[in-house]
Chain A
């Protein structure tokens, strides 16, 4: 099994996509952070983001890294669909005819890559959020801003989003369709249901909502206080999605004719 996981990691790291995705993720997380820095403490519609020197702002800013999930998901989609797109799936299954093992290896590799992306984005957060707080005269406190729990939430979320991508990729097989579906899911459906508090009753059950629950951000960002599941329930929901997507990947791959 470790050989198969290593082979999957090698597939990813011998092509260019991974670092392009990493770069794009860091740029977009950086842009989001730029907005949070710019609008900190600015009043809009009667409520406001916390000010930059507060522990609450650091909490919100740190958690914004969870938006990197989509890039890991796209990477997961590509891990699966590029095998069909370039027909390398033939060689993969000739080498490992027990297809379930290939899926398990891809899922493990996806979890690892997601975790590596999470570490990268957390380092990025550290070198941007901490100076932003201290330069504004605030004091950065790991415990007051609940950095460990949020970081763990980001780690788990990004790792699992890779698995969602693998499941989605196995289901649709077409690379473009898979990436479009992932983007529409993350930027349209999830952001509607988790962004608008009135829709949180549904949104909290979606992966994005469960990821928020895991980080337990309880700060009013100007749109009203969110109502997420408890952190433990968020974890269960998120892992549940991971298992469902892994099962989908297996079910759609194991018996399909490769012609």
Chain B
């Protein structure tokens, strides 16, 4: 049984088909990126999954059950939603304690969760004085209260600075890979999640356009290898002879498709050309994302 299972989900708001027949699943121990441009239907899908929005048809299940049927949802699934907000006059600790009380958890969980997200020092401060990044961390802390094994995060990187994004990346991978949790994280910015996720689900205009592992999606995007060499002009024909498609980016810099870095290195060795840089370019996924989402 998948931790998260979405089957033929459909939801319209008036004439707008926000989600139009989406199906995918998320397994324990992995991070899945749920990607799509603005208005693609990501938030709507996640809200259906969390019982906040009633789908027109189809199913969205957590651990095999509808969210509203879970007896203690906080202990099974933690969610951070885009529009989660806080009463500005309440302290961070009190906000979490209220959730603990409602969920039957001990108050001590509030401080533990704040500690985990690095907000321990701000526990007694009113939320009105919080920065966007601090609010995002507080939202994450509320998802951690029940120590669940399934996490759903809607654009969690919004408002985080680069250090915060890096921290979040490590945290989510730790939850999935070390603790075996299933993590579903949405974003409209591919670069944000690219180094975090194992699997990718891409939607646009409410429809699923692609899903698979990050590796699969990257490989069909015609990966390129960046090659820098003083004698680039000599190297280029040899690479072409070896089956590569060579593009001259600038003086001394080539972009080669159809060969992997090892093959490029072999050609250079045979030709006795000194390479100053060989790097796999991961622009493939970006291209896939743009083609899939903007192209239609």
Contact = CB atoms under 8 A, between A and B. Distances in A.
A94 to B, nearest CB: 6
B70 interface: yes
Contacts of A16: 89
Interface string A81-107: 010001110111111111000000000
Contacts of B98: 7, 10-11, 14
A257 B47 CA distance: 9
Contact of B101 (A3, A91, A97, A259): A3
A92 B43 CA distance: 18
A88 B94 contact: no
6 contacts: A10-B101, A11-B98, A14-B94, A86-B87, A91-B99, A94-B73
A258 B99 contact: no
A6 B73 contact: no
Interface in B46-73: 47, 50-54, 67-68, 70, 73
Interface string B99-121: 10111100000000000000000
B76 to A, nearest CB: 11
A96 B103 CA distance: 7
B88 A94 contact: no
A7 B97 CA distance: 8
A87 B292 CA distance: 33
Given A15-B90, A86-B86, A86-B88, A92 B102 contact: yes
B67 A95 contact: no
Interface in A133-161: none
B102 A4 contact: yes
A53 B13 CA distance: 66
Contacts of A6: 101
Contacts, number: 80
A54 to B, nearest CB: 46
B32 interface: no
Given A7-B98, A98-B68, A258 B84 contact: no
B84 A87 contact: yes
B52 A259 contact: yes
Nearest to B68: A97
A257 B74 contact: no
Nearest to A101: B102
A88 B67 contact: no
A130 to B, nearest CB: 37
A100 B98 CA distance: 18
A78 to B, nearest CB: 11
Contacts of A96: 102-103
A96 to B, nearest CB: 6
B83 interface: yes
Interface in B79-95: 79, 81, 83-91, 94
A258 B50 CA distance: 10
B30 interface: no
Interface in A4-29: 4, 6-7, 10-11, 14-16
A7 B102 contact: yes
Nearest to A9: B101
Contacts of A91: 84, 99, 142
Given A7-B98, A10-B94, A90 B83 contact: yes
A48 B13 CA distance: 62
Contacts of B87: 11, 14-15, 82, 86, 88
